[in-house]
Amino acid sequence: MEDFWTERFAVRDYEVDAQGRLSVLTLCHLMQEAASRHAQTCGMSLDQLQAENFTWLLSRMLLRVTDYPGWQEPIEIQTWPTGIEKRFALRDFRATDKAGRVFGAATSAWLVIDTVKRRLARIEPFLDRFALRPDVRALPERLSKLPRLAEAEHERAFAVRYRDLDLNQHVNNVSYLEWILESLPFDLQGKASLAELEVNFLAEAFPGDRVLARWQPQVDNDLAFRHSIVQEMDGRELIRARTVWKAAEGRRIDQGA
């Protein structure tokens, strides 16, 4: 039973953004890949749980990034379970570059769902299969419920595509993050980099759904935003999030939609 699990990757050409940097969406995918492979060694991967009529669901995540490696650069993703908090299984991540410097860190909270009864399962029996390391944290914060977005200045509609679906046959959590980023001003990601992302996953979306990605800049910081994604049909909230961006030197950010 491994306390810590490390996966090594080289940044491929289809994993970079228009600036030639590792995309934050790819970073999230690689973190999930590392977590999945670690879980598999403990008999707790998604397909192994599904055979027992259970599944993992990501509920909350906080990610901080200081830099983004470029194309072909080697990176390492390390992950480990840190414990239990109420109904959540906690897992942390650390991403390092070729020099061994940490450029990304994340903490996350996961649920186990009984797929037959369609309700939460007790988390303790599942974490017995992992070696927990509550003494080592990638980020010190406790994950909490984000406040509801009171109003939104901007909104963009998206349709659920086949490529958005995961093994649970609902929208993969990284697709929600993609909709958040795509709804923001077009030139933002060319002039700034995402420094912090916090998200609460609240409900599911399925094939045929249309969703609205809404956002509002914070009053005290024009590079920080509050986000919400809702079902277009009935307004049911699917996720809440916040993003904080770091502008490149000498770059002005246009807040227009």
Reported as a pLDDT band with limits 50, 70 and 90, residue 251 is: very low
Please tell me the predicted confidence (pLDDT) of residue 231: 97
Please tell me the predicted confidence (pLDDT) of residue 59: 97
What is the pLDDT averaged over residues 67-88?
96
Average pLDDT, the chain: 92
Reported as a pLDDT band with limits 50, 70 and 90, residue 239 is: very high
Taking a C-beta distance cutoff of 8 angstroms, is the pair 73, 100 a contact? no
> For domain 1-144, which CATH number applies: 3.10.129.10, 3.30.70.141, 1.20.272.10, 3.40.605.10?
3.10.129.10
Task: Kindly report the three-state secondary structure assignment for every residue of the chain.
Answer: CCCCEEEEEECCHHHECCCCEECHHHHHHHHHHHHHHHHHHCCCCHHHHHCCCEEEEEEEEEEEECCCCECCCEEEEEEEEEEEECCEEEEEEEEECCCCCEEEEEEEEEEEEECCCCEECCCHHHHCCCCCCCCCCCCCCCCCCCCCCCCCCEEEEEECCHHHECCCCCECHHHHHHHHHHHCCCCHHHHEEEEEEEEEECCCCCCCCEEEEEEEEECCEEEEEEEEEEECCCCCEEEEEEEEEEECCCCCCCCCC
| Residue 91: closest CA among 3, 171, 175 | 3
Q: What is the CATH number of domain 145-257?
A: 3.10.129.10
Taking a C-beta distance cutoff of 8 angstroms, is the pair 122, 151 a contact? no
Alpha-carbon distance 26 to 39, whole Å? Answer: 20
Please tell me the predicted confidence (pLDDT) of residue 1: 57
Please tell me the predicted confidence (pLDDT) of residue 6: 97
What is the pLDDT averaged over residues 120-132?
86
Q: Is the pLDDT assigned to residue 49 strictly greater than 60?
A: yes
Percent over 70 (pLDDT), the chain: 96
What is the pLDDT averaged over residues 105-126?
91
Please tell me the predicted confidence (pLDDT) of residue 126: 83
Please tell me the predicted confidence (pLDDT) of residue 256: 44
pLDDT tens-digit readout, 182-234: 999 988 988 999 999 999 999 999 999 999 999 999 988 889 999 999 999 99
Q: Can you read off the two tokens belonging to residue 164?
A: 């958005």
Amino acid residing at 70 = G
The answer to whether the 1-144 and 145-257 domains have the same CATH topology is: yes
List own/partner pairs for 231-238 with CB under 8 A and 24 or more apart. 231/205, 232/157, 233/209, 236/203, 237/148, 237/202, 237/203, 238/176, 238/201, 238/202, 238/203, 238/204, 238/205, 238/211
Please tell me the predicted confidence (pLDDT) of residue 249: 60
Q: Is the pLDDT assigned to residue 84 strictly greater than 50?
A: yes
Domain ranges of the chain: 1-144, 145-257
Largest pairwise CA distance in the chain:
55
Phi, psi of 129 (to 5 degrees): -85, -10
